[in-house]
Amino acid sequence: MMKRINILIVAFLASFVAIAQNTGVADSLFSRSKLDQDSLYYDEFAYLDDYHFADNIFLLGQVGMSHSMSENTRFGNFFANERPSFNIGVGKWIYPAFGTRITLGLHPQVGRAEWEISDTWPNVFGNYGYNMFSAYVDGLVNLTNIIFKYREDRVFNLIGIIGLGYNHTFGFDKNKCDLMRRGISVSGGKIIPGTDEKPGTIRYDVNTDPGNFFAAHVGLQGRWKVNAAWDIIGEVTFNGTDDKYNGHEYDRVYDTYFDILVGAQFHFKDCHGRRRFHYVKYLNSELIERLAKMLSDENERLSEANMAIPEIFEKIKFSEALQTTVSFYVDRYYITEAQRKNVKSVATFLFTHPDINLVVTGYADVETAYPAYNLRLSQKRAQAVYDMLVNDFHVPTNRLRIDYKGDTVQPYAAVNEWNRAVIFFLDRNGGKSQVLESDTPVE
């Protein structure tokens, strides 16, 4: 029976690898080579962000109880078969629906002599305790994400667990086991300690030597999201192992025990500074072509005449904002080489107009992510431009001030993508700048 269980689990894990390859798990580990059209995300116009091998790692710690279900224990007091149990582990989510983990735990167990002699002579026979160290390699299947598709803000997830493991038993209650091994002898109505020489001695043999046994288990885990970093988890696993793991070989092929554990799980930051999987919305081909043409036209215009700074200055007298802006890719805050030219032109403007200071104001588009995230993103965009002006082009820090609006203000209402930008406002009126309200960029 145990061999059958192991074969089934190995077959499952092999199937998991095959499924993972078919659904693009390998791509999500190292690079994003194509849009994920069969996404588990609830929005079909999105792809899974690119992740590295060391991303989506978590640690867990659990406490609870282990309940022995070896031979004869079912005939005793149910609650006498529980012992405190402890687990620690590390894992990785490969894809929103599939992950893996390694756990190490201490799971003390209870054995019991045959029920007839245990009930008749409880002072000699009965329960005995021993310790067990366990190590498991588990496959994790997020059933919630498979059924309902992935949402970054979902609070509860139901996760299936299946794995192979190893049990090391040690620390048997030797006094109790020695007493049961010697047994008793009933002579003339009296009960006396048994010996090997006495016929009719009633005994129960327990091998107290440490043992090593393969194991397998299945289970379910409930995961409650507390915040981006922490989860509360509760799980139940049903474990099968060798019949001899309790020190006594019976007429069963395997013995079982189950664990009930609660604990906490901590998620590390990934290469993007987030702690959970993130899907990025993509644009349709028509819009991408239009934006690419706009970018090409803008770069060509900037390269023609090094910017007509006097003309720009005349325009900003009316608009209170520079014509030059810095644009960003969706959900990014790094400055491309093309946009670096725009930053340089702003530095040139400041050096030719020493009486003017600027407010570097970051924005994010309202159709991506959520307000709190977009506020941080717009701050990072403004900070990136500020740092380039100061560090690369040596603009004095007292000439600049940072501001950021998130998605609460959309300067370009007509084209959502244009709002992934940093705009430069004149720092006037005690540091208060006007908001550029326009449907099209300043020409």
Which CATH number does the domain housing residue 330 bear? 3.30.1330.60
Tally of structural domains, the chain: 2
Shared domain for 293 and 263, answered yes or no, is no
pLDDT score recorded for residue 182 = 83
- Residues of the domain holding 385: 284-426
pTM of the model: 0.57
Residue 217 CB neighbours (<10 A): 23
Quote the pLDDT of residue 109: 94
Whole-angstrom CA distances from 115 to 71, 72, 75, 125, 289 are 9, 6, 6, 9, 79
Residues 37 and 149 reside in one and the same domain = yes
The pLDDT value recorded for residue 232 is 97
In order along its 443 residues, the chain shows pLDDT tens digits of 444 545 445 444 444 444 444 433 333 333 333 333 344 555 556 677 778 899 999 999 999 999 998 878 777 778 888 999 999 999 999 999 999 999 999 999 999 888 888 888 888 888 999 999 999 999 999 999 999 888 888 999 999 999 999 999 999 998 888 888 888 876 655 556 655 555 567 888 899 999 999 999 999 999 999 999 999 999 999 999 998 999 888 777 788 999 999 999 999 999 888 999 988 766 555 656 666 666 666 666 655 544 444 444 444 343 578 888 999 988 899 999 889 999 999 999 999 999 889 999 999 999 888 899 999 999 999 999 999 999 999 999 999 999 999 999 998 888 888 999 999 998 864 444 333 333 333 33
**Nearest one of 326, 323, 442, 432 to 387, comparing CA atoms:** 326
Task: Flag whether 174 is in a domain.
Answer: yes
Tell me whether residue 435 is in a domain. no
| 96 and 168 co-located in one domain | yes
Same domain, 314 and 402: yes
221 lies in the same domain as 301: no
347 and 244 within one domain: no
318 and 170 assigned to the same domain: no
Report how far residue 162's alpha carbon sits from residue 8's, in angstroms, rounded to the nearest whole number: 10
**Number of other CB atoms surrounding residue 205 within 10 Å:** 12
The predicted pLDDT at position 87 comes to 96
Whether 318 and 235 share a structural domain: no
> What pLDDT was estimated at residue 40?
53
Predicted confidence at residue 64, as pLDDT, reads 97
Whole-number pLDDT of residue 44: 56
Asked if residue 296 and residue 222 are part of one domain, the reply reads no
Is 343 within the bounds of a domain?
yes
Q: Could you tell me if 202 and 297 lie in one domain?
A: no
Nearest-angstrom CA–CA distance, 256 and 109:
11
Q: Is 276 part of a structural domain of the chain?
A: no
Q: Does residue 431 lie in a domain region? A: no
Give the closest residue to 342 by CA, choosing from 371, 307, 376, 316: 307
What local confidence, expressed as pLDDT, does residue 181 receive? 85
Q: Is residue 338 included in any domain, yes or no?
A: yes
Do 91 and 207 lie in a common domain? yes
What is the pLDDT at residue 282? 60
CB 411 within 8 A of CB 425: no
CATH number (domain holding residue 100): 2.40.160.20
Domain boundary among 267, 297, 330: 267
**197 and 302 housed in the same domain:** no
| Res 423: pLDDT | 94
CA dist 194 and 201 (Å) reads: 5
The answer as to whether 103 is a domain residue is: yes
Residue 273 within a domain: no
Residue where a domain terminates, one of 232, 267, 302: 267
pLDDT of residue 36: 38
Q: Which residue from 181, 166, 169 is spatially nearest to 129, judged by alpha carbons?
A: 169
Question: What is the pLDDT, as a whole number, of residue 393?
Answer: 95
What token pair was written down for 69? 């279900």
